[in-house]
Amino acid sequence: MERIYFDNAATTPLDKAVLDTMLPYMTDKFGNPSSIYSYGRESRLGIESARKTVAKILNAHPGEIFFTSGGTESSNTAIHAAIHDLGCRHIISSPIEHHATLHTVEHAHAKENIRLSWVKLQPDGHVDMEDLRRLLSESKERCLVSLMHANNEIGNLLDLHAVGNLCKEFDAIFHSDTVQTVGHYPFDLRNTPVHFINGAAHKFHGPKGVGILYINENVKITPFVQGGSQERNMRAGTENLYGIVGFAKALELATANYEEHSKYINSIRQYMADQLEKHIPGVGFNGDLRGRSLYTVLNASFPKSEKSEMLLFNLDINGICASGGSACTSGADAGSHVIRSINNDPNKVAVRFSFSRDNTKEEVDKVVEKLKELI
């Protein structure tokens, strides 16, 4: 059966050129980067070259880039550091954050007596900036603001500069989960008012299990993971050598092809939105589809019926990979917390389609045809 993969916001296939870059570090250049002999020095050089590459692309200092196991560890580290090292006793976040942030801030609230506030959202899912200003101005404690750059389910984009400047005004720490945007948009971190951002290689055709945490050079924190002096005493544990090399190569390729790929992927997304509107009665879209939105993600809502309740399952049976969750689904699946927060309509079933440079309009046509049958 032909498979159509429309779940690239979950993970992307590994680029062959990235694998080719990684392979020598899986075979010949296998030394422990902490060893002082030639094998170790060779590995260390691979890591530091990767760090410089990443820093240059993001316009950061190499000393501000730390390699981790992925976006979740990076978010946990940033939030933990803001509380324990930077004096934040009040966290402001949103109800549509990734669980890597949501569960971490809820844990801090429950276990460490940290005050937790949810910023209001506008009907299209964007952060209400006036409410964010109010929360910051009324807070008697130092705040950590943790808001994602692009929502992984509906694709809404946050104005990093607007939020960062607001945080600066109130001496707040700003962490942004940028997992969906590092490797998809250009960054200029020297001129962006943010203290922490994070990235994960597998979102832009790199390997799984490796990510970065950017820590602004003006911020001094202590390690989250204890037990060794790796990553300049900031993250203990033997480095994921080939993952780190792969991260840098994937970011390099994504950046070199940004203009071409982003334009192409967005054309696929808009084409699918148009075809769904044309062929599926009652379809709607979640988030700011034709406004400030991530070019890889399309979140569609379909009228609920006996057939559409099993939509994801039936798509899978037909070789179509997508993801989602509705505001109200049966059984143990509570549905998507994001969709519940912005559109609590129990008569709709939400599905996220997310695209990469490998997808085609022909695939869109096949999926729309299948959806016509299934709905």
Which residues are catalytically annotated?
A: 328
Place of tokens 């200029």: 188
CA angle 262, 5, 205 (to 5 degrees): 50
Q: In this structure, are strands 115-118 and 143-146 parallel, antiparallel, or unpaired?
A: unpaired
Q: CA nearest 372: which of 243, 275, 247?
A: 275
3-class state of residue 243 by DSSP: helix
Q: The tokens of 227 are what?
A: 């037990």
Q: The tokens of 293 are what?
A: 């939105």
- Biggest distance spanned by C-alpha atoms of the chain: 67
Q: The tokens of 357 are what?
A: 């440079």
Cβ neighbour number for residue 44 with a 10 Å cutoff: 18
Hey, what amino acid is at 361?
Answer: K
| Rounded Cα–Cα distance for residues 323 and 296 (Å) | 14
Query: By CB neighbour count within 10 A (0-12 exposed, 13-18 middle, 19+ buried), where does 208 fall?
Result: middle
| Rounded Cα–Cα distance for residues 375 and 302 (Å) | 8
Q: In this structure, are strands 211-215 and 65-68 parallel, antiparallel, or unpaired?
A: antiparallel
| Rounded Cα–Cα distance for residues 207 and 58 (Å) | 19
